[in-house]
Structure 1
Amino acid sequence: MQNSFKPERIVVKFGGAALADGEKVSKAAKAVAKEASKGKHIAVVVSAMGKTTDALIEVAKNACNGNVNAEELDDILAMGERTSVRIFTAALKSYGLKARYFDPADPEWPIITDDSFLNANPIIELCEEKIQRFILPLFEKKIIPVMPGFIGKTIDGKITTLGRGGSDTTAFILAKGLKANEVILVTDADGIMTADPKIVKNPRRISEIDVQTLVGLADSGTKFIHRKALKYKDPSINVRVINHASGDLNQEGTIIRGELPKDLEADIVSPFPVASIRILGKKLSERPEIVGEFIENIRKHTVLLGMSLDENSLVSFVAEKEDLQALAEGIHQIVLNHREAIAMSIRRNLAFLRIKGVGLEETPGIIGRISEPLRLNNINIFGILTNTSSILLFVSWDDRERALNLIKCSLGLEGR
């Protein structure tokens, strides 16, 4: 009877902090050796050691008086990972393991990209074909493949880099091509934290988080994992973020589940009309108790869909499926109880539209592409709210279908 046992397959990516010196490289290699001794199939992705990439950028730009072009700079920056992968492979061999590193000069190099130098985009079909053809067979030979992260190569052989967070991108693409059970990201943190430890004392580790929540942290400028990398995460493969300090790849860390939407989407979110409720006043932003009472009143009566606040106005968008009379009375009482609040207003029969996708805030002109066709067709926008991966739009309920079709047409989403 044939043995159907399939060894656990993992991709382990070591960040620069985990490889900052020879001692740390040895410790990382030892951790891999320990897991390999259990029969696991392990593929390794390495970043440049320590702050090598930053140092190479500075030296290259100073040497060239700031005139180094993107293609040349990619070739220079790749040297950080190309060196790191050789050192790490040698460290694995020192523990008695069979290992093979890949280099973009190899004909078997698997990460193929376009020619957007300094921020190249992987061509996934070509990457997966080469991963399965050249890397996957190494497991049967008990050879540990070691890949330099961050680096790509164009079809015609030019070296590219994948942008910041590119080593995570490499790990995610490799995991998908290998049909791995898990990706482990070895960093200088215990996992994803409740706050940036450089700003807040004693933040706590989050045991589990979904991708869409994680990408929202980028609003604060804190890049736990870069958004571009998360686009390549397979929804069926969990990611675990751990600290290199323990030298143990089995520590708990933070589990990241799910995926980001791959493309832009536009839809009507609420099947019911939406109401806009506004309090007008003076210095409302300095009175958190007013904001608290406002939210509490809404919570008692309906669903809060969105909210905005500036110095002199507090605006909420709420589901109108319930009778708003009791809510209106409660909000009016807030106005009467606080001298900073002057009056309130309600606009009914609005529609709640949402445009979502990865990196919207990094897409120049996206708001104009949404709003301009509405303006040209005399459709008023009664509210617009934005966050990292979505734009929330409020228009007249009667205009909802026409507005949605115009937005889809402008963004090239017809038929979706």
Structure 2
Amino acid sequence: MAVMKFGGTSVGTARAMQQAISIVAREAELSTPLVVLSACSGITNTLLKIADASGRGSLDEAMALVGEVRSHHIGLVRELIPSAESQAVLIPRIEELLSRLELLVKGVEIVGELTERSRDMFCSFGELLSTTVFAAAMQAAGHRAEWVDVRTVMVTDDHFGFARPILKECMANTEQIIRPLQRAGTTVVTQGYIGRTEDGRTTTLGRGGSDLSAALLGAWLHESQIQIWTDVDGVMTCDPRIVPEARSIRVMTFSEAAELAYLGAKVLHPDTIAPAVEKNIPVFVLNTWHPDARGTVITNDPERLSGMSYGGLVKSIAVKKGQSIINVRSNRMLGRHGFMNELFNVFARYRVSVEMISTSEVSVSVTVEDAPFSQELLGELREFGQVDIEHGVATVSVVGDNLRMSKGVAGRIFGALAEVNLRMISQGASEINVGVVVGLHDVPVAVSALHREFFSGDDAAGIFEVPAGKA
């Protein structure tokens, strides 16, 4: 059996929902899938705007935005559910959810304070609405489906905005609530991203929460695979907006996927698929609009890897824009123990996340998110030595498990980048990525050169697939 997670673009319109329903129906002919949905595309952002408007007392603005949410979902109902009788049952359920949203708006506006707890409650309405419409549309089309509020299953701590499940309770709830429906041949439609505390307060799981929900449920149910349905043909060799010749990767390991995600590629965030890694459940990244395309499978199963022509030196090239380099030069580094610990404690105190690191005898260079830096942070860094900052750079990383076992990789990388000014060089501790830092204007040249070097000829043989529509 499979967990099928559909992202926002896959359920954002009536046509998209119809396409997703057809994919679920096809899977239901083989097994009883569990369907996990995100909010319709753009709705979570609208809900956050509603939350912010409520917090600053802009009641009219917030209510107007609620009207947009209402219009979108009622429009979906009218397009997807042809029966007036069925509409008459479903629309009041939509209105009930929206009435609760309006009450939340008024409550926050009266109090004049928007808390993380309230923000989570605002965000939850997106998934509750999308799944309500989707489940009803499946039923109207004659499919055996049932809507389940995931908050009855996903019990979490009270870290609002980044809650984590209480595993023992969640696993017991999964067995008691979802398993019997699956055994009865019913397709369960539920929400990603949201949960509840033990005393019933709504939480969200943070970035990639819908993918995490799908992976957790798949692990708790011991499913055979997790399918992530998006609007792209799997994981690509690089950003196709930079290199139109980018191709879909047929298979990759969990470590490669994790490295790419950390380095800026639009791949599943490693934290979200950790439950699948623990149970070695394969994760498929598939295209809702090209359901017959093979997409990408992420797995550590040696049999699957060897059976799908895993080889290839490099799997993908990741780019992370919006970065700055901070250089700290100090003679105090030389032979002194504890220097690095003291330096990185400064970044930790100011909540600055360090992305890439390069060191020498008397200097440390790091990349961080490009943003105005507080004078307090810079002041503390200058206590270590001379500090220089270079804004407007990007990291470009070459990733592949086979890099660690191959000779001459660095030579090929730097040969391909001979015409590019490299500001910084780093090899990841995992030994499966080599990264460089370049100016933003050099990104297209650098990525194109690396793609030509590693994704033509023998290096690419057997591990890629031409995306649907490009053959």
Same fold by TM-score, threshold 0.5 exceeded?
Answer: yes
Question: Which residue does the alignment assign to 2:442?
Answer: none
Question: Which residue does the alignment assign to 2:10?
Answer: 18
Secondary structure at the counterpart of residue 244 of structure 2: coil
Question: Which residue does the alignment assign to 2:404?
Answer: none
Of 32, 37, 42, 1:51 maps to: 42
Of 108, 130, 136, 1:90 maps to: 136
Report % sequence identity: 32
Question: Which residue does the alignment assign to 1:77?
Answer: 123
What per-residue deviation string (whole Å, max 9, x for no partner) do you get for residues 115-141 of structure 1?
A: 110111112222112111210111221
Q: 1:362 to 1:95 in 2, by over 3 A?
A: farther
Q: 1:219 to 1:141 in 2, by over 3 A?
A: closer
What amino acid does structure 1 have at the position aligned with 2:132? R
Q: 1:36 to 1:366 in 2, by over 3 A?
A: closer
CA RMSD of aligned residues (A): 3.1
Q: CA deviation at 1:236?
A: 2.3
Q: Is the 8 A contact 1:184 1:241 kept in 2?
A: yes
Q: CA deviation at 1:65?
A: 2.3
Q: CA deviation at 1:144?
A: 0.8
TM-score by length of 1: 0.58
1:139 equivalent to 2:131? Answer no
Q: 1:156 to 1:237 in 2, by over 3 A?
A: same
> d(CA) in 2 for partners of 1:63 and 1:222?
34
Question: Which residue does the alignment assign to 1:256?
Answer: 298
> d(CA) in 1 for partners of 2:268 and 2:182?
28
Question: Which residue does the alignment assign to 1:302?
Answer: none
Question: Which residue does the alignment assign to 1:267?
Answer: none
1:30 equivalent to 2:22? Answer yes
TM-score by length of 2: 0.52
> d(CA) in 2 for partners of 1:69 and 1:205?
42
> d(CA) in 1 for partners of 2:161 and 2:430?
23
Q: Is the 8 A contact 1:238 1:255 kept in 2?
A: yes
1:62 equivalent to 2:108? Answer no
Q: CA deviation at 1:386?
A: 7.2
Of 200, 208, 219, 1:165 maps to: 208
Q: CA deviation at 1:255?
A: 0.3
Matches within 5 A, 1:264-275: none
Secondary structure at the counterpart of residue 96 of structure 1: coil
Q: CA deviation at 1:231?
A: 2.1
Of 264, 275, 281, 1:232 maps to: 275
Q: CA deviation at 1:222?
A: 2.6
What amino acid does structure 2 have at the position aligned with 1:86? T
> d(CA) in 1 for partners of 2:165 and 2:174?
13
Question: Which residue does the alignment assign to 1:245?
Answer: 289
> d(CA) in 1 for partners of 2:429 and 2:267?
14
> d(CA) in 2 for partners of 1:61 and 1:214?
34
Secondary structure at the counterpart of residue 2 of structure 2: strand
Q: Is the 8 A contact 2:219 2:279 kept in 1?
A: no
> d(CA) in 2 for partners of 1:88 and 1:81?
10
Matches within 5 A, 1:145-156: 145-156=188-199
Question: Which residue does the alignment assign to 1:176?
Answer: 219
What amino acid does structure 2 have at the position aligned with 1:71? R
What amino acid does structure 2 have at the position aligned with 1:151? I
> d(CA) in 2 for partners of 1:110 and 1:119?
17
Q: CA deviation at 1:363?
A: 12
> d(CA) in 1 for partners of 2:179 and 2:5?
17
1:99 equivalent to 2:145? Answer yes
Question: Which residue does the alignment assign to 2:108?
Answer: none
Q: 1:181 to 1:253 in 2, by over 3 A?
A: same
> d(CA) in 2 for partners of 1:240 and 1:187?
11
> d(CA) in 1 for partners of 2:349 and 2:239?
22
Q: CA deviation at 1:223?
A: 3.6
Q: 1:363 to 1:244 in 2, by over 3 A?
A: farther
Stretches of structure 2 lacking an aligned partner (at least 5 in a row)? 58-112, 302-325, 328-347, 355-424, 432-471
Question: Which residue does the alignment assign to 1:110?
Answer: 153
What amino acid does structure 2 have at the position aligned with 1:37? E
Q: Is the 8 A contact 2:34 2:189 kept in 1?
A: yes
> d(CA) in 2 for partners of 1:222 and 1:363?
26
Q: CA deviation at 1:13?
A: 0.3
Flag the structure with higher helix content: 2
Q: CA deviation at 1:51?
A: 1.4
Q: Is the 8 A contact 2:251 2:296 kept in 1?
A: yes
Return 162-171 or 135-144, whichever deviates more.
135-144
> d(CA) in 2 for partners of 1:104 and 1:92?
18
Matches within 5 A, 1:178-193: 178-193=221-236
Q: Is the 8 A contact 2:215 2:274 kept in 1?
A: no
What per-residue deviation string (whole Å, max 9, x for no partner) do you get for residues 42-65 of structure 1?
A: 110000011111121122113322
What per-residue deviation string (whole Å, max 9, x for no partner) do you get for residues 13-34 of structure 1?
A: 0000111101111111121112
> d(CA) in 2 for partners of 1:154 and 1:389?
36
What per-residue deviation string (whole Å, max 9, x for no partner) do you get for residues 199-250 of structure 1?
A: 332311110111111111134323411232022224421010011112x3x5
Secondary structure at the counterpart of residue 242 of structure 1: strand
Q: Is the 8 A contact 1:81 1:148 kept in 2?
A: yes
What per-residue deviation string (whole Å, max 9, x for no partner) do you get for residues 263-310 of structure 1?
A: xxxxxxxxxxxxxxxxxxxxxxxxxxxxxxxxxxxxxxxxxxxxxxx9
> d(CA) in 1 for partners of 2:300 and 2:280?
7
What per-residue deviation string (whole Å, max 9, x for no partner) do you get for residues 151-196 of structure 1?
A: 0111111100001110000101111111111111000110011112
Secondary structure at the counterpart of residue 249 of structure 2: coil
Paired residue total: 263
> d(CA) in 1 for partners of 2:54 and 2:38?
24
